[in-house]
Structure 1
Amino acid sequence: MAEDLRLTGVSKRFASFTAVDGLDLTIAQGEFFAVLGPSGCGKTTTLRMIAGLEDPTEGSIHLGDLDVTHKKPYQRPVNTVFQNYALFPHLTIFENVAFGLRRRGVKDVKRQAGDALDLVELGHLAGRKPAQLSGGQQQRIALARAVVNRPKVLLLDEPLGALDLKLRRQMQIELKRIQMEVGITFVHVTHDQEEAMTMADRVAVMNHGRVEQLGPPSELYETPDTTFVANFLGQSNLVPVRRAGTDGDHVVVETHGQKVRVRRARCVEANDLLLGVRPEKVRILAESERTSPHLNVLTGGVVLDASYLGVSTQYLVRMPWGQNLTVFAQNLGVGERFRDGERAVLAWEPDHGFGLAGDADAGVDDELVAAKG
């Protein structure tokens, strides 16, 4: 597949601070690509360099065969949609969308602007002013205004950040639909993991100016390469363990006298490890319940908190060594519900875990670090 966008050794330094550090990225034509990371990780700076709003300190940026590293923003086949939409308040919705077409001297403005409004399903509001529209409608108009110019790449800088939760989820679906219909390459910068996983074909998780891991959302979630990715993309239980041997395709690890297994292919080569398992992969059982011999089992847990969330119940379980582990138990209407103070056993499939090295709190919000105990 043809390359739409290629960043090679791109760095950006502001005085002594390195915002982006030797970034290499190749984004395929027609791909919905997300750059995900916390504030200050370099994702917006990366987008601004692609748009031509910042000059790289080092490296090169290509759009197809065109080297745009030092070209002005208007010389690049790129459009950007910002969080604040930046619509012209004195122009009608139609004229907002038609603005770029008129500047370029396009003759068939009425049809092209109308088609763009129909694409975002707001053709019936063409005569209104931006102030008469809701936040979600303004966001769609900003998108239509960008898409109508048929850029080679559309850059989206936290475009849904100003919307409430329900509307944001609706717009995630809409954005993906529009991208698939027009076939333009989308590069979407966000700190919202759900946005990235819902819409993107591939996700680059950034941390301190570098890409920690890049791949399809399911791959990053199921097999994180680092503790930062394991914590930032969803939640993970990370248990300190020590390698204790092997069992066929599995590595045997030990924590405080209890042994469990992790598939060798999902475990880094180290003696001291963090055994990771996602909360929804863990089953919470009563001490009297029999478990299958092939499951990993940790005993001696005590339920600290049980929060009913409708679709699931979230348990916080204190283990004998003082660590709190999280379990998301789907509310299927079978099995017992656990109350605070009850003793419990945790179990999971060995193939659902992963063994990593690093800081157990990397990528975790400070508030969650305190809650983990």
Structure 2
Amino acid sequence: MNTLEAVGDLRLTGLTKRFGSFTAVDDLDLTIPQGSFFALLGASGCGKTTTLRMVSGLEDPTAGRIYIGDTEVTSTKPYKRPVNTVFQNYALFPHLNIYDNVAFGLRRRGVKDVKKQVDDILALVELAHLAKRKPTQLSGGQQQRVAVARALINQPQVLLLDEPLGALDLKLRRQMQIELKRIQTEVGLTFVHVTHDQEEAMTMADTIAVMSAGRIEQLGSPEELYENPATTFVANFLGQSNLVAGTVTGKEDGVITVDTHGVRIALPESRSRVESGAVIVGVRPEKVELAAGNAAIESGRNALPGGVVTDASFIGVSTQYLVKMPWGQELSVFEQNTGKEIYRPGAEVTLHWDATQTFGLDGSQDIEAGAEIDDEAAK
């Protein structure tokens, strides 16, 4: 079987990995369309890197199968799979210049005339002018692009990216997010990107799978996951959410009404995961506005009166507030900087927002799931 001829979607069926009594990846079914930029997003220990290692052949599954197109590669040796991996540490050869680093894979396979392929791939990653330099003479972002070029020149069906930007500073990381997306669009290969960084996943990926405890919590486009989270974990882990417990009190004309701490909240039926009983009402902080005291709020908007500002942080593009509600919960509000009055700590306010921006989740879940995960610990 020549796996290098395998073309098509990357499919994982029933993929499971156990380390003793610990299940790292739990019966995973996943199809990653050919030519897509796909992100596996989650905190440390969620199973995302183990999944990547099984796809690359560096880890054997306990159960399940891996296909690229119609070709099963579950038991195929790593070097025979049409897959290459870019790691966080780049793993460049320090004694070779950039040209020879990139040409290494072709020469090892016995390709005699490598010049055109190396020149083309260095042009793609915009490093042709640095071909004679050694890796130590390049910046972190340039080394990253060399690692990508070295992986791409072997023409894999799937390029795996394991936390590839983790060693870069914030500004360079954002530049490389755009750069990697450009490269993926130009070459049209399947990129599978493992990261704990929500912004990174949302910036780069067409589709994101949010992982927790070896399972996929939700799969979809960045917009879909952000605007319509399916679970409290996704709502809290992907950005920030204000989540408040309540009880469904009615449903009429496509609108669900909820009682939360004695206040009536409305939300579209299409944005609620439950239609009766306990519900967790959610709204993103940037959708919420503040009004002074018990000011009248126009119809069509949800309102939570009786809040007291506990913190106001002006960060340029917006002011980020924490507001303590009468029942003791602190909610977040991000108000865009439009010259509006900034409320100071101690100010009494009403939170209000367009009712159609509200979402509803199953009330039996842990309302704090995903909220306490620390980015630094996740690295």
For the aligned pair, the TM-score class normalised by the smaller chain equals over 0.9
Letter in 2 for 1:191: H
Query: Do the aligned partners of 1:4 and 1:152 also contact (CA within 8 Å) in 2?
Result: no
Q: Deviations over 1:67-105 (max 9, x none)?
A: 100011011010000000000011111100000010112
Q: Deviations over 1:123-156 (max 9, x none)?
A: 1111111111111111110011001111000000
Letter in 1 for 2:78: P
Q: Tell me which residue corresponds to 2:67.
A: 62
Q: Are 1:302 and 2:294 counterparts?
A: no
Q: Are 1:361 and 2:362 counterparts?
A: no
Provide the alpha-carbon RMSD of the alignment.
1.3
**Equivalent of 1:216, from 221, 241, 245?**
221
SS in 2 for 1:3: coil
Moved more, 290-299 or 78-87: 290-299
Q: Tell me which residue corresponds to 2:337.
A: 331
Q: Deviations over 1:288-330 (max 9, x none)?
A: 6432111101100000000001000000000000000000000
Letter in 2 for 1:364: A
Q: Are 1:51 and 2:56 counterparts?
A: yes
1:366, CA displacement in angstroms?
Answer: 5.6
Query: Do the aligned partners of 1:4 and 1:153 also contact (CA within 8 Å) in 2?
Result: no
Query: Do the aligned partners of 2:294 and 2:350 also contact (CA within 8 Å) in 1?
Result: no
Matching of residues 185-204 of structure 1 within 5 Å: 185-204=190-209
- Deviating above 4 A after TM superposition, structure 1's stretches of 4 or more consecutive aligned residues are none
SS in 2 for 1:90: coil
Unaligned runs of 5+ in 2: 1-6
Matching of residues 282-293 of structure 1 within 5 Å: 282-287=288-293, 289-293=295-299
Change (3 A) 1:347 1:236: same
SS in 2 for 1:167: helix
Q: Tell me which residue corresponds to 1:26.
A: 31
SS in 2 for 1:162: coil
Q: Deviations over 1:33-70 (max 9, x none)?
A: 00000000000000000000001111100011111000
Q: Tell me which residue corresponds to 1:168.
A: 173
Query: Do the aligned partners of 1:155 and 1:188 also contact (CA within 8 Å) in 2?
Result: yes
Q: Tell me which residue corresponds to 2:14.
A: 9
SS in 2 for 1:138: helix
**Equivalent of 1:322, from 318, 328, 341?**
328
Partner Cα distance (1:170, 1:127) in 2: 24
Matching of residues 34-45 of structure 1 within 5 Å: 34-45=39-50
Unaligned runs of 5+ in 1: 369-373
Q: Deviations over 1:184-232 (max 9, x none)?
A: 1000000000011001010000000000000111000000000000001
1:279, CA displacement in angstroms?
Answer: 0.2
Query: Do the aligned partners of 1:243 and 1:253 also contact (CA within 8 Å) in 2?
Result: yes
Query: Do the aligned partners of 1:3 and 1:27 also contact (CA within 8 Å) in 2?
Result: no
Q: Deviations over 1:256-290 (max 9, x none)?
A: 21111011121122411110100001111112643
Partner Cα distance (1:247, 1:292) in 2: 20
Q: Are 1:274 and 2:275 counterparts?
A: no
Change (3 A) 1:47 1:367: closer
Matching of residues 91-130 of structure 1 within 5 Å: 91-130=96-135
1:350, CA displacement in angstroms?
Answer: 1.2
Percent sequence identity over matched residues? 66
Q: Tell me which residue corresponds to 2:255.
A: 250
Letter in 1 for 2:81: R
**Equivalent of 1:183, from 176, 188, 191?**
188
Q: Tell me which residue corresponds to 2:76.
A: 71
